[in-house]
Amino acid sequence: SGTSMAAPIVAGVAACLLSRDRALFRAPRDRARADALQRQLFASCRPLGFGDIYEGRGQPLV
């Protein structure tokens, strides 16, 4: 399914997004921070044209 390859990529993109957003980086580590980071992750994704079943939200681009 590709999750073993996707997980470290998404973790790296999340770290990159956190490094760019000081307010989010310094926010308390709670559900609100996780939700905000998820929104940024989803906003950074671009579909590749394979459909949801094969690519989920698409490829994160940072």
What's the mean per-residue pLDDT of the chain? 90
Per-residue pLDDT at 31: 98
Q: How many residues does the chain have?
A: 62
Phi-psi region of 16 (alpha: psi -120 to 50; beta: other; left: phi over 0): alpha
Find the Cα–Cα–Cα–Cα dihedral 20, 60, 1, 34, rounded to 10°: 40
What is the C-alpha separation between 31 and 14, in angstroms, rounded? 15
Q: Which residues pair with 46 in a beta bridge?
A: 59
Where are the chain's structural domains?
3-60
Say whether pLDDT at 1 is over 70: no
Structure tokens at 22: 């000081």
